[in-house]
Amino acid sequence: MVWFVELSGLTGGTPIPQTLLKGKAGLESTQVAFWHTGTPRPVSGACSFKVTLLAGGSSEARGGRTLNRDVHFTGQGRAPGHTQNPLLATLDSPRGRVTKPLYFQRLKTTRPPTPGEKGALVSGVNTNVYQEGGVEDRTTSTRKKRCVPNAFMYFVAVVFLLMPTARAAEPEPAETALVVCPSDFRGPLEAWIDYRRGQGIEVRVIDSKSTAGELSTSIRRNALPTDRFLLLVGDAPVIGSAADTRNQVPMHYVATTVSARFGSTPTMATDYPYSDIDSDGHADVSVGRLPVDTPDQLRDLIRRIKAYEASRNFSLWRQRVQLVGGVGGFGMLADSAIESVTRMMVTASLPIPVRTSVTYGSPGHLFYPRKRFTESVTERYTQGCRFWVYAGHGMVDRLDSVPSGPTGIPVLDGNSIATLKCDPANAPIAVLLCCFTGAIDAGVDSFAEQLLLHECGPIAVIAGNRVTMPYGNASLTLGLIDSIYGQGAEGLPPADRLGSAWLAAIRRLESEDESTEKGPLRTMVDAVATLVSPAGTKLADERSEHAALYGLLGDPMLKLHPPAAVEVETATGFDFGAPIEVTVTSPIDGECVVMLDHPLGETRKTPPGQPKPDPNEITLARVAEPISAGRPKTFSIPLQQQRSGVVAIRVHVAGRETWAAGGGKTFMRPASK
């Protein structure tokens, strides 16, 4: 995250000369991690800072240093004397204006600077010398002479904060994570701890507690500023019971507000409060839970996690998303709107390279399968996908029935879960946009638990623990898509670990900012909310409640292995019947598959006597050839079925150690008459 920082005032009222700061030490484009006092946490969101120094420098900084404009701040550990050198920052953030004393923890530069290089600030004792663009400025005006003594004292404070660059840069410290593990699971967890430490994550383990309040206190006492993840190992106790600290981890119970007016229970069970390390009401770390009951279940889950991350199967399953839709039940108008928005979210909002298939549980619908619904769902699951999404109604131990009513069969339940088949190394991540399936405090294993713990089940499950609502579900989905695929307004790359994407999505739900310009999809989602959300409630309140309603069952440190980007070039249009030419530049060696697809949901007339085609079969033409990294390759692809209209180009490159993807669109012009 790039922050724009202005050091504008000092204790005693003496301003720092602007020549010492703005544009000289890279302070206009400095990457900064700020930390609060108390239990530190990173400040997130689009904020502007006015920072005031409250104290002078440190003995470590004296003597003058050379600063590089490419200095990067990183919050790692605590700097000597930090309690004597706080900064007071006024944050204009989406959550309002707040003033907090901040501390830089440990700050390092990315490389030693060259003295006198462009943009470097060179300062010596009792001088005010700096260079910009190779031109040395030794101005000794009355104003500068008057400012030099005070300016230098404050300048060495800045040098202290930026870390002396005359020393060798310290090695990048490991990521850190906190784990809550009951005593029965300490032995099996050792294999996972060694595995994560081998990846450079420093893991610390604390005991479970009998109540959520006690556990929150313990988590806050043991948390570090560098913690990104919190893993809870063990199932939750049944509602109303204290946790057995040998094999359980308690949950918080918080009141429902918006969803209560939608027919929910008065309270919900949630792990969300554990993510709030500094008690400001917002998530600081990503929380995930492995809801195991026995050591053997934990061993099996750890084995599957390792297999998933070690998988070198980079074939087409990694670009697929499967959407299963149930029957709405909110009324014809609302159901139609919800179904349209849901399908649009997992098609139009996804990057072009992502291939989506839809199965919808309403007889007569375009995407209603010809086979029995449950059989069709399990067959598609076997084909493999990166994400498996269900949107509809749910109960504690099953999904909704199709068709609805007493004769319907659950889309999936405990019996049909047992029929799911896939290579555990290529398992999907499941997102259940429905009610109750994540209620792990129920007297029986919830549907999400059964799904996660099945040998061929998803490697992680995101599920709601009580009544969830269409608008909150849609907002969560948009946040996940943006963070997983790197499409957010912040310009961040695709998340490297599941917990990073989960935390980003939760923070989107927490945000009360309505000032940013909405895209067409967000506008449509908000409009649909007026059809189904309870009257007299705020959309921001509904979003924030869903931050607690949903939980991550799985390892938040799970590596997602996002694809590298493929460059795809093509013309804006082609004449009817002409081959489509696509030039592909891949960042890796591998097998390159180029697919030409028509839009999902596009209907075509079926010739008489022929069955209707599967609407998920959208590929018009496909070629596969080896490709070398960095060498553009042009494919000339004729369409097997001549047609006019939009053509989506999807490119997938499967390498030995990674994969890459890209896409584009072109247009096939109508035939001339």
| b/e sequence 78-101, b meaning 16+ C-beta within 10 Å | ebeebeebbbebebebbbeeeebe
Listed ranges 32-36, 124-128, 631-635; the one with the highest mean pLDDT: 631-635
DSSP string, 48-59: EEEEEE-S---G
* pLDDT score, position 474: 86
User: Could you tell me where the beta strands, DSSP code E, fall in 528-566?
Assistant: 550-553, 564-565
Asked if the model's pLDDT at residue 138 lies above 60, the reply is: no
**Res. 465 pLDDT band, cuts 50 70 90:** very high
- Rounded to a whole number, what is the largest CA-CA distance in the chain? 95
Establish if 197 belongs to a structural domain.
yes
Domain count, the chain: 4
Of all residues in the chain, the percent with pLDDT exceeding 90 is: 54
Domain range for 95 is 2-162
Higher pLDDT, residue 502 or 156: 502
**Res. 601 pLDDT band, cuts 50 70 90:** confident
* Residue located via tokens 């429905």: 434
Establish if 673 belongs to a structural domain.
no
Gap between the Cα atoms of 485 and 284, Å rounded: 21
Asked if the model's pLDDT at residue 10 lies above 50, the reply is: no
Ordered alpha helix ranges (H), 434-469:
447-453
Helix axes 520-532, 332-345, angle to 10 degrees: 150
pLDDT in tens, 244-290: 999 999 999 999 988 888 778 899 999 999 999 999 999 999 999 99
Establish if 525 belongs to a structural domain.
yes
Do 229 and 147 have their domain in common? no
Do 189 and 242 have their domain in common? yes
Do 331 and 449 have their domain in common? yes
436: left (phi over 0), alpha (psi -120 to 50) or beta: left
Q: Which range has the worst mean pLDDT, 48-52, 245-249, 575-579?
A: 48-52
**Res. 455 pLDDT band, cuts 50 70 90:** very high
* pLDDT score, position 370: 83
Alpha carbon 370 to chain centroid, angstroms: 36
* pLDDT score, position 172: 46
* Interval 504-533 mean pLDDT: 69
Domain boundary among 162, 189, 215: 162
* Interval 383-391 mean pLDDT: 95
Bond into 403 cis (ω within 30): yes
Do 10 and 125 have their domain in common? yes
Domain boundary among 532, 553, 574: 553
Asked if the model's pLDDT at residue 477 lies above 50, the reply is: yes
CATH number at residue 269: 3.40.50
Do 105 and 191 have their domain in common? no
Do 347 and 415 have their domain in common? yes
* Residue located via tokens 């060696």: 589
**Res. 520 pLDDT band, cuts 50 70 90:** low
Asked if the model's pLDDT at residue 143 lies above 90, the reply is: no
**Res. 94 pLDDT band, cuts 50 70 90:** very low
* pLDDT score, position 69: 23
* Interval 1-29 mean pLDDT: 29
Asked if the model's pLDDT at residue 342 lies above 90, the reply is: no
Q: How far is CA 228 from CA 62, 109, 453, 500, 651, in A?
A: 34, 22, 25, 8, 33
* Interval 505-532 mean pLDDT: 68
Establish if 287 belongs to a structural domain.
no
pLDDT in tens, 345-355: 656 689 999 99
Identify the burial level of 625 via C-beta atoms within 10 angstroms of its C-beta, where 0-12 means exposed, 13-18 middle and 19 or more buried.
exposed
Sign of CA dihedral 372, 375, 377, 380: negative
Q: Which two tokens stand for residue 207?
A: 């005991």
User: Could you tell me where the beta strands, DSSP code E, fall in 465-575?
Assistant: 550-553, 564-565, 567-570
| b/e sequence 3-33, b meaning 16+ C-beta within 10 Å | bebebeebeeeeebbebbbeebbbbeebebb
Asked if the model's pLDDT at residue 133 lies above 70, the reply is: no
Of all residues in the chain, the percent with pLDDT exceeding 70 is: 67
Do 540 and 430 have their domain in common? yes
Domain boundary among 492, 522, 553: 553
Do 536 and 568 have their domain in common? no
* Residue located via tokens 């006198």: 116
Asked if the model's pLDDT at residue 127 lies above 50, the reply is: no
Start-to-end CA span in the chain (Å): 55
Gap between the Cα atoms of 146 and 151, Å rounded: 9
* pLDDT score, position 476: 92
Gap between the Cα atoms of 378 and 422, Å rounded: 10
Give, in degrees to the nearest 5, the angle at Cα 31 between 29 and 35: 135
* pLDDT score, position 240: 92
CATH number at residue 647: 2.60.40.2550
Which has the closest alpha carbon to 207: 252, 253, 251, 247? 247
Do 372 and 478 have their domain in common? yes
Do 34 and 11 have their domain in common? yes
Gap between the Cα atoms of 185 and 300, Å rounded: 13
* Interval 634-645 mean pLDDT: 90
Establish if 298 belongs to a structural domain.
no
* Interval 482-495 mean pLDDT: 86
pLDDT in tens, 549-561: 999 999 999 999 9
Establish if 300 belongs to a structural domain.
no
Q: What's the pTM value of the predicted model, to 2 decimals?
A: 0.74
Do 389 and 489 have their domain in common? yes
Identify the burial level of 311 via C-beta atoms within 10 angstroms of its C-beta, where 0-12 means exposed, 13-18 middle and 19 or more buried.
middle
* Residue located via tokens 């700061």: 21
* pLDDT score, position 91: 41
Please give the mean pLDDT across all residues of the chain: 75
Establish if 393 belongs to a structural domain.
yes
Establish if 103 belongs to a structural domain.
yes
* pLDDT score, position 239: 95
Do 446 and 513 have their domain in common? yes
**Res. 198 pLDDT band, cuts 50 70 90:** very high
DSSP string, 614-628: PTT--EEEEEEEEE-
DSSP string, 244-299: -TTTB---EEEE-STGGGGT--SEEEESGGGG-TTSSSS--SEEEEE--SSHHHHH
CATH number at residue 337: 3.40.50.1460
CA atoms within 13 A on the CB side of 209: 13
